[in-house]
Structure 1
Amino acid sequence: MSETVFECQEKVRRLAVKIVKHYRGKGPENVKVRMEDDSLIIIEIRGILSSLSEILLKEGAVHLVTEYWKVLKPYLEREFMAEIEETLGSPFTYTWKIEDRNPGDRAIIIQLNKSV
């Protein structure tokens, strides 16, 4: 892995950790970053749902968690999008999904697609 790829990965990982700490109060052991190529960065964050969200999901109140994320997602985007763009050094698009490996081990996978 070249030095610049490693440096970019570390910058993105530190920013993702900052976001996770802001939202969940959890540390860097929950964040993994890997670069697939020059234009695709994949961030995996384990344990992204709060304890309350986990309880609501377990009890079947998925709609409450969905409503909660409708408010939280734009807030997180506003707070950190400019920092991510500055870190990457270019505009980007992103996609995300929640992986539900088994209860209590959910992860969010974010793919950052750098624009050319």
Structure 2
Amino acid sequence: MFGTEFEYQEKIRRLVVKIVKHYRGKGPENVKVMVENDSLITIEIKGVLSSLSEILMKEGAVDLVAENWKVLKPYLEREFMTEMIGTLGSRFTYTWKISELCPSGRAIVIQLNKSV
């Protein structure tokens, strides 16, 4: 599909940056893409929250951020799942988690499993 693993990782990274930029209004601070094997890809994104979400988190309104995400998540999935399927070349399932809640180390880790 791609000439090298690096090209594959870079294509995924650019798509993730595009998705975050669409939601956040600017790109993330850092995106790492690791191809674990043929069916598992791990993506770590730092600097993913919108400015409003960051303010709400600092003020202790974590519940409002969670409520906001309930609305945004389906929208982002509808808008970008097709592009990711095209990039990966197959359907996939995914899981995600926030790795740390403190702002300086906060990152979202997404694992894509292509063995669907």
TM class by smaller structure: 0.7 to 0.9
Within the alignment, does 1:54 sit opposite 2:50 as a pair? no
TM-score by length of 2: 0.88
Equivalent in the alignment of 1:44: 44
CA apart distance, 1:106? 1.3
Rounded Cα–Cα distance in structure 1 between residues aligned with 2:24 and 2:87: 22
Equivalent in the alignment of 2:76: 76
Rounded Cα–Cα distance in structure 2 between residues aligned with 1:105 and 1:78: 29
Task: Give the aligned residue type for 1:40.
Answer: L
Rounded Cα–Cα distance in structure 2 between residues aligned with 1:56 and 1:101: 13
> For residues 32-81 of structure 1, what are the alpha-carbon distances to aligned partners after superposition, in whole Å with 9 as ceiling and x for unaligned?
11111111111111011122212212222111111000001101100000
Task: Give the aligned residue type for 1:32.
Answer: K
Equivalent in the alignment of 2:23: 23
What is the aligned-residue identity percentage?
76
- Change in Cα spacing, 1:114 to 1:18, as seen in structure 2 (3 Å) is same
Long gaps (5+) in structure 2: none
CA apart distance, 1:3? 4.3
Corresponding residue SS for 1:105: coil
- Change in Cα spacing, 1:58 to 1:101, as seen in structure 2 (3 Å) is closer
In 1, are the aligned partners of 2:92 and 2:113 still within 8 Å (CA)?
yes
Which segment is superposed worse, 97-106 or 75-84?
97-106
Q: How many pairs were matched up? A: 115
Which segment is superposed worse, 94-103 or 61-70?
94-103
Matches within 5 A, 1:73-112: 73-100=73-100, 102-112=102-112
In 2, are the aligned partners of 1:49 and 1:106 still within 8 Å (CA)?
no
Task: Give the aligned residue type for 2:115.
Answer: S
- Change in Cα spacing, 1:28 to 1:63, as seen in structure 2 (3 Å) is closer
Long gaps (5+) in structure 1: none
CA RMSD of aligned residues (A): 1.9
CA apart distance, 1:112? 0.5
Rounded Cα–Cα distance in structure 2 between residues aligned with 1:57 and 1:70: 16
